[in-house]
Copies of this chain bind each other. A is one copy, B any other.
Amino acid sequence: MVVDPGPAGDLDPGSSRRYNPGMRFRHHLFVCENRRDPSDPRGCCAARGGEQVRAALKAELKRRGLDGTARANSAGCLDACADGPVVVVYPEGVWYARVRPEDVPEIVESHLLGGKPVDRLLR
């Protein structure tokens, strides 16, 4: 099998990266919810609000009717602890840092629906 979007692959809006129609989700978002012991100097995304960010994402995807084509997944450590909570969106490979629940509607509106990642949150 070769990962080839083929001639029917449409273009992700705002991106030169082709959307592979065989892909299960058009946008697969991974939110770090890693939890470390409170004494750990690195901190963790769970303590910085990762779980609340994912809950907000799930709710917003549903509200915008995107819950069939996008998934807000829980992830373990994404190795970006100091910038947490972090979110990475595939297949684009766009990383967001210090995301708050109140940033979620803009990510969904601008990036997922409009094809334009939210510059101010880029890692």
Which A residues have a C-beta under 8 Å from some C-beta of B? 1-5, 12, 14-18, 20, 22-25, 28, 30, 33, 71, 73-79, 88, 90-95, 116-117, 119, 122
A54 and chain B: residue at smallest CB distance: B76
Contact A93 B93 (CB under 8 A): no
Q: Find chain B residues with CB under 8 A from A94 CB.
A: 1, 3
Offer 26 A-B interface pairs, CB within 8 angstroms, sorted by A. Answer: A1-B117, A1-B119, A1-B122, A2-B15, A2-B16, A3-B12, A3-B15, A3-B94, A5-B16, A5-B17, A17-B17, A17-B20, A24-B95, A25-B93, A28-B88, A28-B90, A73-B75, A73-B77, A73-B78, A74-B75, A74-B76, A74-B77, A90-B90, A90-B91, A90-B93, A91-B92
Q: How far is the CA of A95 from the CA of B14 in the complex (A)?
A: 26
